[in-house]
Chains A and B, each alone.
Chain A
Amino acid sequence: MEKQRVRLMNYASYIALIPLVPLATFVLLGLFGKKTLKPLAGIIGCTALFISTALAVYAAYHYFFTDGKTNGVYQAVFVNKVHWLQFSPSLSIDMEIMLDPISVMMLVVVTFVSLMVHIFSLGYMKGEERFGTYFSFLSLFTFSMLGLVMSANIFQIYIFWELVGLSSYLLIGFYYNKPAAVAASKKAFIVTRFADLGFLIGILILGFQADSFDFHTIIQRLTDVNSPQLIGIATASFLDISLLTWALTLIFIGGAGKSAMFPLHIWLPDAMEGPTPVSALIHAATMVVAGVFLVARLFPVFYINEAALVVVTWVGAISAFLAAIIACTQTDIKRVLAYSTMSQIGYMMFALGVSGYGGENGLGYTASMFHLFTHAFFKSLLFLCAGAIIHYVHSNDIKDMGGLRKYMPLTHLAFLIACLAIAGIPPFAGFFSKEEILLAASQSNSAIYYIALITSGITAFYMFRLYFSVFWKASPPAPLQRRGEEENHAEGSFSMKLPLVLLTIGTVGAGFIPFSQFISADGKSFASELHPGFSVLPVALALLGIFFAWNLYFRPSEKPGKMAASLGSLYRLAYKKFYIDELYLFITKKIIFNLVGRPAAWLDKNIVDGTMNGIAWTTGRISTAIKGIQSGRVQNYALWFFAGIIGLLLVLKFWMK
C-alpha cells in the first residue's frame, strides 16, 4: 500500500503537465498569435509539444517497465482527482487522470504524431496569413485529445470528446474563405454532433443504471454477475431490447460518428478540405480512432453483451469493406487516404468485436490496439507525404501527378514504405498488426475473416494504385518538370523532411514491439507468436493486389478505363460512393425538410409568431383608441380623478355593504 502511494505521487507531479502544456500554448497563441507572437508561433508550438512528448514517453517508460504492474497485471492508476460537480453523495462528476495500458499508449501516439505534424507544419504552413491561429488550434486539439485519452470517467471523456470535435471543426474550416472547406467543417460538426446525441443518451442510461460515471466503477459493477446494477440494467428493457444493449449501442453510435464508421462516415472524406498536416493528425492518426478507444475503454462491459458486440463487429467489417471499394475509384489523393483510414478503423472495430476476454482470448483487443498504434505511424506518414506532394504539385488530383519519384526521392521512399506497411507486407508495421487482427477474426467468426481477407487484398491494390499513379506512370506534366529542374527544393524545407524520416523509422520499427506483453483486455501479459503458415494467404493476396495495381497503373494505359467501362454501373456505384451522400441529402432535404422542417417553420411563422404579433397588434389598436384620454389638460385629469372618487364612493355605498 505504501508503495502504491509513492507510485501515485510520482505520476501526480508531472502527468497533468502533458495536456496542460499544449493548453497553455493554445491560450498564449490564441491571445497573442495574431500579431506579437506570429513569427514565433511555430517554435512555441513545437517546443511545447516536445515537452509533452518527452513527458509522455517518460511516463510510458515508467508505467510499462517499472511500476505499472502489480502481481503480473497492469493496473489502472488514478491521480490528480478533482471533485467538480457533486450531484448526490453517490453521484458526482470529477476530473481525474486515469493511466492504464491503452491510455499510456495513446499518450505516446498522440504526442508523437502531434509533434511530427507541428514540425511538418512549420514548413507546410509557412507564409500562411493565420500562422499563429493555426498553431493555437493545433495545440487546442492536442490538449483535448490528451484529455480524452486520460479521462477517468465517462462524463469527462464526453467533455473532451466535444472539444476534439470543436477543434476538428475549426481546423477543417481553417481556409474559411473557401466555400467547400466551410461546408465540410459544418458537415463534420453536424454529423458527429448527431452521433454524439446517441453517445449522451447512452452515457445517461449507463450512468443512471450503474449509479456511477467512473469507468472503473462501471466496469466493476457491470461485470459482477451478482451486482444489483447488472441485474437491473440487464433485466430492464425497452422495445424488447435490454437497457444494457441500448446503452452500449448508443455509446457505440457516438464512437462510430467520431470514427467515421458506416453509415456515419460521410464527413471524413469532405474533412480533407482542411490543411493536409491537420488531416494527418486529426483525421488519420488520433481523433478518428477515438471511437475505437471508447469501445476499448468499455470493452469488459461490451464483452458481456453479445448483441452490442455483434453491432460493433458488423459495422466495423462493413465499413472496412465499403471504404476499400470506394477508395479504388477515387482520384483525389487525400480522399483515397481518407477512405483507407475509414477502412483501417473498420479493421480495429471488428477486431474488438471478435475479441474475447482474458489472456490469449483477448487477442482481438490487443490486435485492435496494436493496429491503432501502427496505423497512426504509417497513416500519418502517408498524409504527410501527400502534404509534401500537394505542396509541390499544387493539386490534389492524381491525374495531375505522375513520375514524381525523380523530384521527390525521400517522399517516394517514405510513401513506398508506408504503402507496404498498410498493405501488410512483412516486415513493416502493418503486417504484424493486421495478421493479429486476421488471426483473431479467423478464430471467432469466419464470415468476418473472409471479408477482412478480401479487404486486405483490395487495400494493397488501391494503395499501390495511388503509389504508381503518383510516382511512376507518365513523366510529370510539363510545368512540373520545369519547376522540378529549376528549383532544387521539390520536397520542401528540412522541417518537412524530418517528420517523414522519423515516421518512416516508426513505420519500419513499430511492428517489432511485442504488443501483447503490454496491452491486453485484462492487463495480463501474454506471448503472441507469428504463425508463418497463417500469414501466407493474406500476404499472397496483398502481393496479388500490388501486381494488379502494377499491371494497370505502372505506365499509362487504356486498361483502367476499359476495366471501369466493363464494370459499368458497378464502377459508377463505387465512384459515387454508393450514393450514400445522395441518400443523406434525399432524407434530409426531401423527407425531413418537407415533412418536419417546413411544417415546423409554418407553425413558427404563423402560429407562434402570429400569436405574438396578434397580441402586439391588439395592444396597439386599443392604445390608439384610448390615447385621447391623455390630453395634456390638467383640469381634465382632475375631472377624471374626481369622477373616479365619486364612482368609488357609489360602489362602496351601494354594492360593497
Chain B
Amino acid sequence: MSSVPISHILILSTALFFIGLYGLFTRRNMITMLMAIELILNSVNINFVVFNKYLYPEKLDGIFFTLFIIAIAAAEAAVAIAIIINLYRSHKSIDVEEATEMKW
C-alpha cells in the first residue's frame, strides 16, 4: 500500500493543478473553464488526502477538508452553471470573450 512514494502522488496533483490552470487561462468556453476549476479543486483534494495519509495517519483533518471542498465544489458548480445559463440567455453565447461589459 505504502509502496507508492509521496513524491509521485504530489507530482500527479501538481500536474493536475497546472493542467487546470492552463485550461482556465486558455479556454474561451465557460463550461470548459468550469471543468478546469474542478480540476484545480481536485488537485487540492489529492494534496489534502495524501498529506493526511503520509504525515499524520492518526488524524482525519485533511479528509474532512476534502469532504468540505467537494461539497463547496458542488455548490460552486450550481452557481456557475446558473451564471452561464443567464449569460447565454442575454448574449446567445457562452464565450467568455464576448462578455466584457463589466469594465471601466
Picked from A628, A630, A635, the residue with its CB within 8 Å of the CB of B24 is A635
The 24 sampled A-B contact pairs (Cβ below 8 Å) are A627-B104, A628-B104, A630-B103, A630-B104, A631-B100, A631-B103, A632-B99, A632-B100, A632-B101, A632-B102, A632-B103, A633-B96, A633-B97, A633-B100, A634-B96, A634-B99, A635-B24, A635-B25, A635-B33, A635-B96, A638-B24, A638-B25, A639-B25, A642-B21
Interfacial chain B residues near A627, Cβ < 8 Å: 104
Please report the number of residue pairs spanning A and B whose Cβ atoms sit closer than 8 angstroms: 24
CA distance A427 to B103 in the complex (A): 94
CA distance A633 to B30 in the complex (A): 12
Binary B-proximity of A623-657 (CB < 8 A = 1, otherwise 0):
00001101111110011001000000000000000
Interfacial chain B residues near A632, Cβ < 8 Å: 99-103
Interfacial chain A residues near B102, Cβ < 8 Å: 632
CA distance A642 to B22 in the complex (A): 12
Chain A residues within 8 Å of B, Cβ to Cβ: 627-628, 630-635, 638-639, 642
Q: In the complex, which of the residues B96, B99, B103 has the most CB atoms of chain A within 10 Å of its own CB atom?
A: B103
Interfacial chain B residues near A628, Cβ < 8 Å: 104
Interfacial chain A residues near B97, Cβ < 8 Å: 633
Binary A-proximity of B78-104 (CB < 8 A = 1, otherwise 0):
000000000000000000110111111
**Count of chain B residues with a beta carbon within 8 Å of a chain A beta carbon:** 12
* Residues of chain B from 18 to 34 with CB closer than 8 A to chain A in the complex: 21, 24-25, 33
CA distance A233 to B103 in the complex (A): 71
Interfacial chain B residues near A630, Cβ < 8 Å: 103-104
Q: In the complex, which of the residues A628, A630, A633 has the most CB atoms of chain B within 10 Å of its own CB atom?
A: A633
CA distance A638 to B25 in the complex (A): 8
CA distance A581 to B101 in the complex (A): 68
Interfacial chain A residues near B33, Cβ < 8 Å: 635
Q: In the complex, which of the residues A630, A631, A635, A642 has the most CB atoms of chain B within 10 Å of its own CB atom?
A: A635
Closest to A635 in B: B25
Q: In the complex, which of the residues B21, B33, B97, B104 has the most CB atoms of chain A within 10 Å of its own CB atom?
A: B104
CA distance A161 to B72 in the complex (A): 72
Besides A630-B104, A635-B96, A638-B24, 6 new A-B residue pairs in contact (Cβ under 8 A), listed by A number: A627-B104, A630-B103, A633-B96, A635-B24, A635-B25, A635-B33
9 closest cross-chain pairs (CB), A and B: A632-B103, A632-B100, A627-B104, A632-B102, A630-B104, A630-B103, A631-B103, A633-B100, A634-B96
Interfacial chain A residues near B21, Cβ < 8 Å: 642
CA distance A631 to B99 in the complex (A): 11
Closest to B30 in A: A634
Closest to B97 in A: A633
CA distance A598 to B25 in the complex (A): 62
CA distance A628 to B100 in the complex (A): 12
For the complex formed, measure the closest distance between the CB of B35 and the CB atoms of chain A, giving whole angstroms.
Answer: 15
CA distance A33 to B53 in the complex (A): 89
CA distance A48 to B39 in the complex (A): 89
CA distance A439 to B100 in the complex (A): 97
Interfacial chain B residues near A639, Cβ < 8 Å: 25
Closest to B102 in A: A632
CA distance A192 to B63 in the complex (A): 83
CA distance A443 to B99 in the complex (A): 101
For the complex formed, measure the closest distance between the CB of A565 and the CB atoms of chain B, giving whole angstroms.
Answer: 81
Interfacial chain A residues near B24, Cβ < 8 Å: 635, 638
CA distance A639 to B104 in the complex (A): 18
Interfacial chain A residues near B25, Cβ < 8 Å: 635, 638-639
Interfacial chain B residues near A635, Cβ < 8 Å: 24-25, 33, 96
CA distance A345 to B24 in the complex (A): 92
